[in-house]
A and B are shown apart, each in its own frame.
Chain A
Amino acid sequence: MNKYAIFLGCTVPVRAQHYELSARNVAKELGIDLVEMPGASCCGFPLKAVEAETALLIAARNIALASKMKLDVITLCNSCTAMLSDAQAQLGNEEFHSKFKKVGLSYPNEVRVRHFVRMLYEDIGIEKIGKAVKKPLSSLKIMPHYGCHYMRPSNLYGFDNVETPHTLDELVSVTGAESVNYADKKMCCGGSVLGVDEELAITMANHKLSIAKDNGVDAIASICPFCTVMYEDNQRKAEAQFAKQYGIPVLYYPQLLGLSLGLDGNAVGLKFNRIKSDSMMEKLAR
């Protein structure tokens, strides 16, 4: 049995329950045990630009919780993954470790931090997932969006290929859908700029939305709540700013995988997606 501590962060448990729900239900289908982390807080990432050390301590406190549980950490948000991975690496640095101890924390057992999707790829594997697929999404064209902190910085992750990422493409393909290959696959969604300059952030998001439209995709597959905020919640704004019509559903990857595993729309929380996937679902039912 694959058993992990699940770190939810701030956004997922209150703003993206469909992501959490689909991930948990997919985990059940694939024999993955996700254990709660009572007392887990914000990952610390929002504070990094203000004071990196404080952000790292907040992240390291979350690592300490998993360390006590003797379980590797699985995350759903790309930025949480980066922040917790950074703190995990910093715990090997004596100066940081002593500050960590000074606030009363301890790291009794070495634990790893990985994104849920990375865990699917590495620990379950394409072959085993393929065998579990009951309803292949063969009629669908899906655009995988990796997001920055899924594989960068590579010195923290050592996973996938930062210039030509492929793991999410493979995971989309295994559902039976066509994974669209496109230029600028590793382009940032613009989420980090949203609070500083909304017009610029929307311009960044629009770039990929227009590529999605040109490719006639049925949905974008996202693996980060921030990226979804940009592509789904702000899609209307992109349409207004650039006088375009998109209407492109943005699904979390576990929602798509769940459908291919035979879960129904409710079990993957489809009704919570702000851009409705009715036409995609009709295509699937045909």
Chain B
Amino acid sequence: MIDLRKSDPQFKWEIVKKEGGEGLLKCFGCSDCAASCPVRYFDERYNPRKIIRFTLLGMKDVVLKSPFLWFCAHCHACTERCPQGIRVAELINAIKNYAVEQGYCPEGYKMQIDLLMKMGRLYEVEDFDLKKRQRLGLPPIDKTIPEVAKILESTNILKVLKK
């Protein structure tokens, strides 16, 4: 049972403001996104149409607390087929970004940010790797790229995650 007295009428406007969220209000619920979705094909717990509908209805808690929001593979199959021209994968990404702002960031992503802060890349380049590259005749690569930490420090991302 959906109790709309608990819904937040501002929620959809918060999403519309975000990068990728601009198309939200155009959704007329045809379900083409869900029918095109490779994740939903295997697991019906993920359904982009439902996430969009819940967002339009202001069911903020349901959307943000759902682990299934993070099932989106960002493959853009939906984006290609949306008859309303909504960049659906970007819209789902905007909702993920909002969820992070509200304190719902999966641990895996936090770990990736730590790695990028430290090295500017996801995998550590060890001496072993550099030697292997040399043996194969591949050019050397930078072990760390400190400029990435500077970018991370210049945006809101670290503040948002410390919340």
- Real binding pair: yes
Are A10's CB and B121's CB within 8 A?
A: yes
Size class of the B contact interface (CB-based, 8 Å):
35 or more
* Complex alpha-carbon distance, A182 and B87, angstroms: 27
Are B87's CB and A153's CB within 8 A?
A: yes
Q: Could you say which of B8-16, B26-34, B54-62, B92-100 contacts chain A?
A: B92-100
Given A17-B136, A41-B147, A152-B80, check contact A48 B73 (CB 8 Å): no
When distances are taken between beta carbons in the complex, the residues of chain A under 8 Å from B70 are 49, 196
Min distance, Cβ A252 to any Cβ of chain B, angstroms? 14
Are A57's CB and B155's CB within 8 A?
A: yes
Size class of the A contact interface (CB-based, 8 Å):
35 or more
When distances are taken between beta carbons in the complex, the residues of chain B under 8 Å from A186 are 77
Given A52-B94, A53-B19, check contact A200 B42 (CB 8 Å): yes
Are A52's CB and B129's CB within 8 A?
A: no
Are B79's CB and A152's CB within 8 A?
A: yes
Are A49's CB and B142's CB within 8 A?
A: no
Are B80's CB and A162's CB within 8 A?
A: yes
When distances are taken between beta carbons in the complex, the residues of chain A under 8 Å from B136 are 17, 21, 269
Are B74's CB and A192's CB within 8 A?
A: yes
Min distance, Cβ B12 to any Cβ of chain A, angstroms? 18
Are B38's CB and A41's CB within 8 A?
A: no
When distances are taken between beta carbons in the complex, the residues of chain B under 8 Å from A10 are 121-123
In the complex, the chain A residue whose C-beta lies closest to that of B161 is A50
Are A152's CB and B77's CB within 8 A?
A: yes
Contact of B71 among A15, A41, A196 (CB under 8 A): A196
Given A11-B122, A38-B142, check contact A153 B76 (CB 8 Å): yes
Min distance, Cβ B97 to any Cβ of chain A, angstroms? 6
Min distance, Cβ A36 to any Cβ of chain B, angstroms? 5
Are B109's CB and A50's CB within 8 A?
A: yes
* Complex alpha-carbon distance, A155 and B20, angstroms: 13
Contact of A41 among B148, B155, B156 (CB under 8 A): B148
**Residues of B at under 8 Å CB distance from A?**
18-20, 38-39, 42-43, 67, 70-77, 79-80, 87, 89, 93-94, 96-97, 100, 105-106, 108-109, 112-113, 116, 120-125, 129, 132-133, 136-139, 141-142, 145, 147-148, 150-152, 154-157, 160-161
**Residues of A at under 8 Å CB distance from B?**
8, 10-11, 13-15, 17, 20-21, 24, 36, 38-42, 46-54, 56-58, 61, 102-103, 148-149, 152-155, 162-163, 186-188, 190-193, 195-197, 200, 203-204, 207, 269
4 more A-B contacts (CB under 8 A) besides A49-B96, A149-B75, A155-B87? A11-B122, A152-B80, A192-B72, A200-B39
